[in-house]
Structure 1
Amino acid sequence: CIISQRMRDEVTYRVWDELFRKYRDIETIVKTPVEEMQEFLRKRGVGLWKTKGEWIVKASRIILEKYNGKVPDDVHELMKLPGIGRKCANIVLAYGFGKQAIPVDTHVNRISKRLGLAPPRVQPEKVEEYLRELIPRGKWIYVNHAMVDHGRSICKPIRPRCNECPLRELCPYAKGLVKDEDIK
């Protein structure tokens, strides 16, 4: 999740795979000098490699020492780890533990605002609160995946394909009621 911040998924998956082939377990990561991890990320084109390298080693150390090597499955405990904010914590809960959570990434933020599920000018951190009120808890885990897929194929950040969208009749954006410049 730390690697994925401000990165395309293709790069994230490639680097993640390489990282775990080279550093096979948490103990190995903890023993790795921060500078080595930073260089590993830099050579693979990871943005913010200095910060992310430090966070990966430090978060691994905390997980090993404080949580006996087990990633915590609580949003508040996860957010205590370096480099883990609300979005990453929810990604870990949803995709790592199968728990009901709504990770709000750029796709979820944009689509929620275009569809009128959240106010256009509300901070991205608040979008989760609106979605939690609107969507039944048993469906939260599906929101991110569905909106990411929709955002990549139809509701793109630039030149969205509103004419192909099955939601166009319901969508304030497709009707011209919400503009991209309105969305924060």
Structure 2
Amino acid sequence: MADAKKIAKLLLKKYPDPEIALNFSNPLELLVATILSARCTDARVNEITKNLFKKYRKAEDYARADIKSFEAEIKPAGFYKNKAKMIIECCKKIVRDYNGKVPDTLEALTTLPGVGRKTANAVLGSAFGKQAIAVDTHVLRVSNRLGIARSGNPDIIEQELVRQVPGSKLTAFNLALILHGRETCTALKPKCHGCVLYKECEWQEKI
């Protein structure tokens, strides 16, 4: 298996201060944006939330939202009926069980409707400043190509990366891995030539 610690060091040298691409100013905004981002580009989500976050400022606002109106407001994100239902139900539970505040533990976050480990870890890492690995499509693809994970299961990949990468670097490494997947190790026509991880990468199809 490839040397994850060395890969993390090289990647964080290239991306010393990686940040999540979704715009937010508090945990609730990131939670909503992350739910909206499923099968949708971050750029489009940011366009939607530009106005959405002005109207909905608290969990109570989402909890009281008219479902049809809310669906129309988030329609460009795709799968808007399902996402609207999840966000409203999620915020109802936050109001009911957590006094209107987004909880800051994985266990509590994953009890919220529409919130799995990926969304929960994204919120923990970028909104609460905790160390976490959120396995999205980029992390899944890149970690397998590099050889620091050998699975198509996001939960197993999360465990593998947590086991190998220094605990204090997990969130930064996670975000850097996503950036690397978007900019260099793309799904189609990856830019292997000149990649800072070329020597460490175990992908047999690298060029």
Q: TM-score, normalised by structure 1?
A: 0.89
Q: Distance in 1 between matches of 2:89 and 2:152?
A: 32
Q: Distance in 2 between matches of 1:129 and 1:14?
A: 33
Q: Give the one of 98, 109, 114 matched to 2:140.
A: 109
Q: Give the one of 28, 42, 64 matched to 2:61.
A: 28
Q: Give the one of 164, 168, 188 matched to 1:134.
A: 164
Whether 1:143 and 2:148 are equivalent positions in the alignment is: no
Over residues 43-70 of structure 1, what are the superposed CA-to-partner deviations in whole Å (9 max), with x where a residue is unaligned?
xx11110010011111111111110011
Whether 1:160 and 2:196 are equivalent positions in the alignment is: no
Q: Is the 8 A contact 1:111 1:155 kept in 2?
A: yes
Q: Is the 8 A contact 2:184 2:192 kept in 1?
A: yes
Instruction: Within 5 Å, give how 1:80-119 maps onto structure 2.
Output: 80-119=111-150
Q: Is the 8 A contact 1:37 1:54 kept in 2?
A: no
The 3-state SS of whatever aligns with 1:169 is: coil
Q: Distance in 2 between matches of 1:6 and 1:157?
A: 15
Q: Give the one of 44, 52, 57 matched to 1:19.
A: 52
Q: TM-score, normalised by structure 2?
A: 0.80
Q: Any unmatched runs of 5+ in structure 2?
A: 1-33
CA-CA distance at 1:101 after TM superposition: 0.5
Partner of 1:181: none
Over residues 72-124 of structure 1, what are the superposed CA-to-partner deviations in whole Å (9 max), with x where a residue is unaligned?
011011011111001000001001100010111111111100000011x4312
Worse overlay, 82-91 or 142-151: 142-151
Instruction: Tell me: higher relative CO, structure 1 or 2? Use CA pairs within 8 A at least 6 residues apart.
Output: 2
Worse overlay, 93-102 or 12-21: 12-21
Whether 1:172 and 2:202 are equivalent positions in the alignment is: yes
Q: Distance in 1 between matches of 2:188 and 2:205?
A: 15
Over residues 114-140 of structure 1, what are the superposed CA-to-partner deviations in whole Å (9 max), with x where a residue is unaligned?
000011x43122110100110011111
Paired residues, what number?
174
What amino acid is the match of 1:48?
A: F
What RMSD in Å do the two structures reach over aligned CA positions? 1.6
- Of all paired residues, the percent bearing the same amino acid is 38
Q: Any unmatched runs of 5+ in structure 1?
A: 178-184
Partner of 2:14: none
The 3-state SS of whatever aligns with 2:185 is: coil
Whether 1:51 and 2:82 are equivalent positions in the alignment is: yes
CA-CA distance at 1:25 after TM superposition: 2.4
CA-CA distance at 1:170 after TM superposition: 1.4
